[in-house]
């Protein structure tokens, strides 16, 4: 006989764990099934460990340039094991916090793999081949995604690193070749260049960071090149040879012709795929799209009654903060609300140095939607706080609707760009005209003070 629950959460990522803890603490009989990463991808192999290493890379950069700040210091390079252990320590601390919260909530936590056997019913394969059969009134799928390897000849045999395995190295790659120039590739490129590796990034597109305006993308590319990262654009990989960690060779086709690229290590940063193939979702009546993501409506309901999907697995923006908002939507609607994903204003930050904080429409997107726009740009070097920090690289850009004076979007490529962007996001959500930010009084000297000068340039 299946053990029955009111609520069952399959996968313990951000949205799922928040929902499970909330429902259990309200006294509802709740079970959460997690394959093994307490706290989900973000805490274990995603945002938290990555940003921990980003901070280490920043410390390396400051140490190298200590003399620029009037400090006499000797820099003797990095300790790869020390970097890894610091990262592990931060992760372990957050895993412990999460496990404690799970226990205090009163939820049933099962560590194992779920496989659906029928509508809102599934088996859980536990350690030691024990199987538990469960059913629930309401089921929430939150199984996330994992790195994907494109079907390139020789790539799988080369056993490339992923963003997860790269952070577990106890050595520094001599020459790290990064396949893919998206946000994951860009963050690791600058990071490992600062650690001391030679880094080459292969971008199959002719345009760098195509989701951004050209002027912003060119600024990011310029920063990477200034930091010593080699970027090969418009390059398609024909074949991969060798093995990552020893020697790899990539045969490339570029506009200039064929070429080979040799390196010591290969990182595949070519996107992520959903963790759905082992769930047997057809048995549950849950439809998938062509890529394997769970199909949902704007209330995150699947094709099966009583089944929802939260987080990356539903094919939405792959950010932890979006998964958190998925939780808020589902929670509200379970108790009489009517929230949807329509018109969500989703910000994000590219954690390079300087950060790129982004919200709303780019200039190109705004024009494509038919907006008459005004543009404001401000070099980061014009901001007093940036000068005090000796961090003057970057560009601040805002897109304003010419008719309403509402802010349509912004890109803040500057120190603390993600934090400054949040001020603009709040103004956009409140429907404020750009003049509200232009005329506000900000503490001096702060990076947010740049908003005075940025929006003064709209006119």
The catalytic residue positions are 444
- Residue 17: both structure tokens together: 């764990």
CB-CB contact of 143 with 116 (8 Å): no
Q: Say how far apart CA 100 and CA 113 lie, in whole Å.
A: 22
Q: Say how far apart CA 16 and CA 26 lie, in whole Å.
A: 15
Query: Can you name the residues that pair with 413 across neighbouring β-strands?
Result: 356, 395
**Alpha helix (H) residue ranges in 285-342:** 320-334
**Alpha helix (H) residue ranges in 269-347:** 281-284, 320-334
- Residue 179: both structure tokens together: 């396949």
Q: Say how far apart CA 320 and CA 298 lie, in whole Å.
A: 18
What is the residue whose two structure tokens read 């005090």? 388
**Alpha helix (H) residue ranges in 264-319:** 281-284
Q: Which of 168, 178, 220 is nearest to 198 (CA)?
A: 178
- Residue 338: both structure tokens together: 């009517």
At residue 321's C-alpha, the angle toward residues 124 and 342, to 5°, is 100
The torsion angles phi and psi of 109, rounded to 5 degrees, stand at -110, 120
Q: Say how far apart CA 115 and CA 101 lie, in whole Å.
A: 26
Query: Can you name the residues that pair with 250 across neighbouring β-strands?
Result: 240, 261
Classify 389 as helix, strand or coil: coil
Classify 159 as helix, strand or coil: coil
């Amino acid at each position: 006989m299946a053990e029955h629950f009111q609520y069952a959460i399959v996968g313990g990522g951000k949205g799922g764990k928040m929902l499970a803890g909330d429902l259990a603490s309200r006294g509802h009989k709740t079970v959460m099934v997690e394959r093994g990463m307490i706290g989900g991808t973000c805490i274990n192999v995603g945002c938290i460990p990555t940003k921990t290493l980003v901070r280490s890379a920043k410390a390396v950069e400051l140490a190298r340039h200590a003399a620029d700040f009037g400090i006499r210091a000797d820099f003797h390079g990095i300790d790869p094991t020390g970097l890894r252990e610091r990262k592990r320590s931060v992760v372990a601390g957050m895993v412990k916090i999460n496990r404690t919260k799970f226990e205090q909530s009163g939820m049933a936590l099962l560590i194992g793999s779920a496989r659906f056997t029928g509508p809102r019913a599934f088996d859980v394969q536990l350690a030691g081949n024990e199987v538990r059969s469960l059913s629930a009134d309401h089921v929430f799928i939150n199984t996330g995604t994992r790195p994907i390897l494109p079907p390139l000849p020789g790539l799988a045999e080369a056993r490339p690193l992923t963003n997860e395995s790269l952070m577990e190295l106890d050595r520094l790659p001599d020459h790290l070749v990064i396949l893919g120039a998206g946000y994951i590739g860009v963050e690791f490129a600058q990071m490992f260049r600062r650690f001391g590796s030679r880094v080459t990034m292969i971008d199959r597109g002719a345009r760098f960071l195509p989701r951004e305006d050209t002027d912003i993308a060119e600024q990011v590319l310029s920063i990477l090149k200034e930091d010593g990262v080699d970027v090969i654009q418009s390059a398609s990989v024909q074949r991969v040879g060798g093995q990552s960690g020893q020697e790899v060779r990539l045969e490339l086709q570029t506009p200039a012709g064929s070429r080979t690229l040799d390196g010591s290590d290969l990182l595949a940063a070519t996107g992520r795929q959903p963790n759905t193939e082992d769930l047997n979702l057809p048995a549950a009546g849950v439809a998938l799209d062509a890529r394997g993501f769970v199909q949902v409506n704007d209330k995150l309901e699947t094709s099966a009654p009583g089944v929802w999907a939260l987080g990356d697995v539903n094919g939405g923006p792959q950010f932890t903060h979006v998964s958190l908002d998925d939780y808020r939507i589902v929670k509200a609607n379970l108790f009489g609300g009517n929230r949807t994903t329509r018109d969500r204003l989703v910000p994000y930050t590219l954690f390079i140095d300087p950060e790129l904080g982004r919200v709303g429409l780019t200039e190109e997107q705004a024009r494509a939607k038919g907006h008459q726009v005004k543009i404001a740009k401000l070099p980061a070097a014009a901001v007093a706080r940036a000068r005090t920090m000796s961090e003057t690289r970057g560009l601040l850009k805002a897109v304003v609707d010419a008719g309403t004076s509402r802010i349509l979007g912004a890109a803040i490529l500057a120190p603390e760009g993600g934090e400054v962007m949040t001020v603009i996001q709040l103004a956009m959500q409140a429907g404020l005209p750009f003049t509200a930010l232009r005329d506000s009084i900000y503490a001096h000297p702060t990076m947010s003070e740049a908003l005075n000068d940025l929006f003064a340039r709209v006119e």
